[in-house]
Structure 1
């Protein structure tokens, strides 16, 4: 019923207005962009985890991965109170950011230790979170034990199942519920469209924001979830977009002048499969912004290119990610681009309006085919990789996401 409602909204709000141009772009293929260091983004084999429930009857405990966003590759008992859990990536080489997500419970109340096991060369990164009773919380660090043998999690179990994960799980369904409830349905100036499908046939939604006609308006592009576990960046994207649509007069004036294309989940396959980093073809999508071997990037680039052919150049692209600390990766080249002063002006306002905030900028022109380089080399636009730290508190993420959206609108309206 929910998906039927979504499809009705898509049709009601004019999905077909762009299809003619999009068809032409996809038939000819979007223009490729050259980078100094090419990356092979052709399909690579992956290993799928086996979905199952591991039952340890003598202990009265079970562990499973039978849900979207799960990552568990094996489980076996070490003693009467300890269970080893195996977590493997979808393929290698891959970033050293092991992701895990499993569900567990017990027939009676008891304390169990879980040992986290990763392949050689990989170390524990993410602090465990727990979902119980429909709510997520960070597990107290006193229950995360580091020993010579590895990382152990001490957990009190009971009959009510709980999910433990490296990051809060936001599946493609969760993302859809958010943008429908918070962005699309409350705002008639937001149109829900689709850039096509992922490798496995999941929808690649686009939220188009504009007041009035879209022709000849400068375009701002917002991206997130190229890498599945990077949910703190997604949280910033959520607050950024909610602020963008919710500022009354400022929103209206901004969207009269600019058109926003927001892509809330770039890699739905990787997200739902519980991948560490890659898509269903075993490829890092944020290395495919040159030749577009992967369907997700090709479809998004085709959509954005088609939109720009309606008049109005792409002037700004923000790609929301997560890493170890808050950081903005920027391009050094700015003179001659569509917004040569935006970055310095934006960062100045952020430090002014966010209490005790110091911008952490790392500028360098992209040598590998990542999105911020595509915006620069392919569109002569400002491209920024907007990274939020793994452990940045949610309240701080909300503050940064909200204020950065307001600052962006104010600066672009001044024509800087």
Structure 2
């Protein structure tokens, strides 16, 4: 047996280490984005008070965002809202509780850093119930927004969107894990701040060879309406109907219900605890949320010899829209997008699909599905102000029509 010279041993070891750590292949995009971690400005948790008038505000809960609270006069306070870092999208998110020693009308004027404008219509939460603020209580002067509240000793939560913290999300999905034998909760790894990164592995026993469908949401913390569509979509897959059972006989679903738990619980406008938009990290996987997700998907595909055919990423924006890839010929399901959208318009009265097609230049998830797996990738966006009942209908119908099409593949 020939002995390897000692001087070459370290070279061989180095090569072996490099190969073993190569991990999941990176995906090339035309316009790379630097997703190295960046410093964030921590939000100081506290209860603010204006003692002389007996009004208080607090950000001491998960999902809160309030950076300052000062009196402008006896009936008005300034609410200061700052992002976690910059540059950042114009999506000023806020959430806080407010109350008063005495029953009284009170006004709040929102202040954002220069260059940012008010985006979200306030939602008011009290005793677990939410409602949109009455339009007559919202006053706009140029870019300045002021709202009127009727305060008393019971705190009101004022938020850009209804609060859906990591605990709220867990409370929603855990009954599925507990009650449905083929739904398994797995921990992919930890976020930067040590929160669990969760996937729901939906794998109904079947004698048929399966393909893989991936669903994900909340890469961007305030995008709660997209999460509501994700909820309705997944609940329809798990409703034990004849359609759902036939679908799950042929497909395995990996559902990621909270892609950015740090950002959600910290009340971030858009980024994770690394100060990065995770939906720009689908190339080199520098952030733990994306890295663990990609590693898990690839591990499942490799170990089970599964083909990834469809990826849906649920978001929110100013209006309902589907962002699709233009390239379809030669992908897993070349006709899926057209057939799916046609089915939605046929089965939702008066509904017209708003599609914006374009192959992703930046490293976003829908581009990763296409370039990394030759699969159909769609960003499923729900409007900020789309009514919840309408969201549930969209989510339910789109899930049913997706299952019907995939069963017939």
Pair 1:115 & 2:109 matched: yes
Q: Are the aligned partners of 2:208 and 2:249 in contact in 1 as well (CA < 8 Å)?
A: no
Which residue pairs with 1:95 in the alignment? Answer: 89
Residue of structure 2 in register with 1:31 after alignment: 25
Q: Which runs of 5+ in 1 are unaligned?
A: 1-24
Q: Find the residue that maps to 2:264 and give its secondary structure.
A: helix
What residue is the counterpart of 1:42 in the other structure? Answer: 36
For residue 223 of structure 1, what is the aligned residue in structure 2? 216
Aligned pairs for 1:110-149 (under 5 A) are 110-148=104-142
Matches of 1:359 and 1:321 in 2, distance apart? 16
- Residue 27 of structure 1, CA deviation: 4.8
Q: Secondary structure in 2 aligned to 1:235?
A: helix
User: 2:401 aligned with 1:407, yes or no?
Assistant: yes
Does structure 1 conserve the Cα–Cα contact (< 8 Å) formed by 2:209 and 2:250? no
Corresponding residue number in structure 2 for 1:316: 310
Shift of 1:185: 2.3
Aligned-partner Cα distance in 2 for 1:27–1:134: 47
1:55 and 1:149 map into 2 onto residues whose CA distance is 26
> Counterpart of 2:150?
156
Alignment size in residue pairs: 390
1:113 deviates by: 0.4
Distance verdict in 2 for CA 1:191–1:298, change over 3 Å: same
Counterpart CA distance in 2 for 1:256 and 1:141 is 48
How big is each residue's C-alpha offset from its partner over 1:249-277, in whole Å with a ceiling of 9 and x where there is no partner? 11111111100000000000000000000
Larger radius of gyration: 2
The aligned counterpart of 1:165 is 159
1:110-148 Cα offsets, whole Å, 9 max, x none, are: 011001000000000000001101111111111111124
Partner of residue 55, structure 1: 49
Conserved 8 A contact 2:195-2:261 = yes
CA offset at residue 186 of structure 1?
2.6
Q: Cα distance, 1:196 vs. partner?
A: 1.2
1:299 matched to 2:292: yes
- Structure-2 separation of matches of 1:215 and 1:26: 33
Do the aligned partners of 1:214 and 1:259 also contact (CA within 8 Å) in 2? no
Where does residue 205 of structure 2 map in the other structure?
Answer: 212
Taking the TM superposition and a 5 Å limit, the aligned residue runs for 1:328-339 are: 328-339=322-333
CA RMSD of aligned residues (A): 1.4
> How big is the shift at 1:149?
7.1
Alignment partner, residue 392 of structure 1: 386
Question: How far apart, in 1, do the equivalents of 2:242 and 2:20 lie?
Answer: 37
What is the alpha-carbon distance in structure 2 between the residues aligned to residue 178 and residue 214 of structure 1?
30
- In structure 2, distance between residues paired with 1:215 and 1:131: 47
**5 Å matches for 1:378-389?**
378-389=372-383
- Relative to 1, partners in 2 of residues 1:75 and 1:329: Cα closer, same or farther, differing over 3 Å? same
TM-score between the two structures when normalised by the length of structure 2: 0.93
> 2:118–2:143: 8 Å Cα contact kept in structure 1?
no
Runs of 4+ more than 6 Å apart = none
Structure 2 gaps, min length 5: 1-18
CA contact (8 A) 2:26 2:283 kept: yes
Report if aligned partners of 1:215, 1:311 keep a CA contact under 8 Å in 2: no
What's the counterpart of residue 11 of structure 1?
none
